[in-house]
Chains A and B, each alone.
Chain A
Amino acid sequence: MAKTSPLNLRMTVYSSLFTALIIIGGYLSFPIPMNPVPVVLSDFFVLLAGLLLGASWGFTSVAMFIFLGALGLPVFAGGKAGLAVIVGPTGGFLFGFLAAAAVIGWIAGKGKISVLKDLVASFIAGVIVIYSFGVIGIMLVLKTTLLKALAIGVLPFLPGAVIKVIAAVILAQVLRPLLQPQFKSNANSNDSNDNQ
């Protein structure tokens, strides 16, 4: 609907929506074929937040997610909470999420929007940024070598990460128009809720 809503309020709500999705994504883990570890969807929603909300609101969503976790609310993958996770071996990934949302929003949002740019941005953010931070975190906390850190923190997750990058880009193409304030969806939500 054409909104008079100050854009800020709308983006505030959307940003919270993505924080919620990132949290839920951490509870949803599922196996992918031929791969030893199940993947969670948190990073998928982080990428989507960056693509759809842009750098600063995407960053805000992730920052809120980490902040809530730091306060002790069980929002991290599998219901974990607190500083224990942030300073723990997987903490690097959380900072990676934060950087990823900003990076992807920044690259994808610069100039004209295109699928190719989305893909490049997602790949850089979703694979390179997140996993670099993750590996550094593992090395710092567990005091392991780079090779060991790669073996436990990256290799098993790589296939999942690539699939998630691609899925996020595809989904962003169809969802982006919905975020435009002028957009009209044919299936108006009011109508579909009416019980005759």
Chain B
Amino acid sequence: MAAINIFHYLPGNSVIHRIDTRIKLVCMIMLSITTSLMGRVWDYLFLTIILLLFFWLSGMPVPRLLKELKYFHLLILMIIGIQAFSLPPAPGAFIPIPGFTLAGLKSGLLLGWRLVVIVIICLLFTGTTQISSLRRAVEWFLHFIPGLPAARIGTMFSLTFVIIPLIFDRAAEISDAQKARCVSGRKNPWQRISFMVFPLLRRTFEQADEMAMAMESRCYSEVYRKTAMKTSGYDWMALGFTALVCGFLFLL
């Protein structure tokens, strides 16, 4: 039971899907940095239009984007609200709500907008990239950094997403077993949780031990795994275009 779907990937074959993951990762980082450095309304407008164009190209359904933004709406509202009340009032201007300033509201709106832009960038990236190819890309970048165990980090990356559904399976099993024994009849929520968490962790630990053994039996080693990733002219074009957008925002 993977009730919580924590994978964002939407299978597809759009121009965005086809960009080499390593290059796509660089593009995402460039765009994110640009976003956190720019400050004018025009910058935001320009970038938002470009991103929406990408989004359209990726073939992802719009409800997808709205759903993603829904997770963030509270955070965004909070930012706007707090900002609106936290700048010193401009002398002379009269506003009937104590503490509220227009400049504060404006800066809150911009901060909120920035958040929206970053969310779109992330969604564009994770929505069009398979986790396994993201892992390979990350491993590829990290293996250039001396002293960093790139292969192990790659392994942990994978394992985390392998283990999550296993924990849900165990949790479901245990909660069924406990329902049968009427544990949920107990009022105290902490007691209920400890009845759940202890067996859950005990079973998952045992499973982790078996997993380590199974990996060992398949000759687990921490040599860097060569991958057959290739970049084409198309990938470099995508990188060039992103660089152009970012450069444009910086220079103007």
Kindly state whether residue A128 has any CB partner on chain B within 8 Å. Answer: no
- Cross-chain contact B75 with A12 (CB below 8 angstroms): no
> Number of B interface residues, CB 8 Å?
60
With both chains docked as a complex, state the minimum distance between the C-beta of A110 and any C-beta of chain B, in angstroms.
Answer: 24
- Contact A142 B156, CB 8 Å, known A84-B115, A189-B206, A189-B210: no
Chain B residue nearest in CB terms to A4: B216
Kindly state whether residue B90 has any CB partner on chain A within 8 Å. Answer: no
| Distance in angstroms between the alpha carbons of A78 and B36 in the assembled complex | 23
- Cross-chain contact A9 with B4 (CB below 8 angstroms): no
- Cross-chain contact B79 with A89 (CB below 8 angstroms): yes
- Cross-chain contact A12 with B156 (CB below 8 angstroms): yes
| Distance in angstroms between the alpha carbons of A17 and B138 in the assembled complex | 20
- Cross-chain contact B4 with A20 (CB below 8 angstroms): no
For window 1-55 of B, CB contacts with A under 8 Å fall at: 4, 6, 8, 25, 28, 32, 36
| Chain B neighbourhood of A14, CB < 8 A | 205, 208
| Distance in angstroms between the alpha carbons of A83 and B211 in the assembled complex | 32
Chain B residue nearest in CB terms to A179: B205
- Cross-chain contact A72 with B126 (CB below 8 angstroms): yes
| Distance in angstroms between the alpha carbons of A90 and B190 in the assembled complex | 26
| Distance in angstroms between the alpha carbons of A71 and B123 in the assembled complex | 10
| Distance in angstroms between the alpha carbons of A1 and B119 in the assembled complex | 46
- Cross-chain contact B119 with A71 (CB below 8 angstroms): no
Bitwise interface map of A from 123 to 152 toward B, beta carbon under 8 Å scored 1, else 0:
000000000000000000011100010001
- Cross-chain contact B4 with A144 (CB below 8 angstroms): no
Of the candidates A74, A170, A178, A185, the one whose C-beta lies within 8 Å of that of B8 is A74
- Cross-chain contact A89 with B78 (CB below 8 angstroms): yes
Chain A contact residues, majority secondary structure:
helix
Which of A32, A71, A74 has the most C-beta atoms of chain B within 10 angstroms of its own C-beta? A71
Counting contact residues on chain A (CB < 8 A from B), the size range is: 35 or more
Interface residues in chain A, defined as those with a beta carbon under 8 Å from any beta carbon in chain B: 1, 3-6, 8-10, 12-17, 19-21, 23-24, 27, 30-33, 60, 64, 68, 71-75, 78-84, 87-90, 142-144, 148, 152, 163, 167, 170-171, 174-175, 178-179, 185, 189
| Chain A neighbourhood of B57, CB < 8 A | none
- Cross-chain contact A174 with B79 (CB below 8 angstroms): no
- Cross-chain contact B197 with A171 (CB below 8 angstroms): yes
- 7 closest A-B pairs by beta carbon, nearest first, are A82-B122, A16-B159, A72-B122, A84-B118, A189-B206, A20-B163, A72-B126
Of the candidates B4, B75, B131, B211, the one whose C-beta lies within 8 Å of that of A73 is B131
Q: List 25 A-B pairs, Cβ < 8 Å.
A: A5-B212, A5-B216, A8-B152, A9-B216, A16-B156, A20-B159, A20-B160, A23-B160, A24-B164, A64-B153, A64-B160, A68-B157, A71-B126, A73-B126, A73-B134, A78-B71, A79-B6, A81-B126, A82-B32, A142-B82, A143-B86, A148-B82, A152-B82, A171-B197, A174-B198
Kindly state whether residue B242 has any CB partner on chain A within 8 Å. Answer: no
| Chain A neighbourhood of B159, CB < 8 A | 12-13, 16-17, 20
Kindly state whether residue B215 has any CB partner on chain A within 8 Å. Answer: yes
With both chains docked as a complex, state the minimum distance between the C-beta of A18 and any C-beta of chain B, in angstroms.
Answer: 9
Kindly state whether residue B201 has any CB partner on chain A within 8 Å. Answer: yes
Of the candidates B32, B36, B197, B209, the one whose C-beta lies within 8 Å of that of A1 is B209
With both chains docked as a complex, state the minimum distance between the C-beta of B74 and any C-beta of chain A, in angstroms.
Answer: 9
Bitwise interface map of B from 71 to 112 toward A, beta carbon under 8 Å scored 1, else 0:
110010011001100100000000000000000000000000
Chain B residue nearest in CB terms to A48: B201
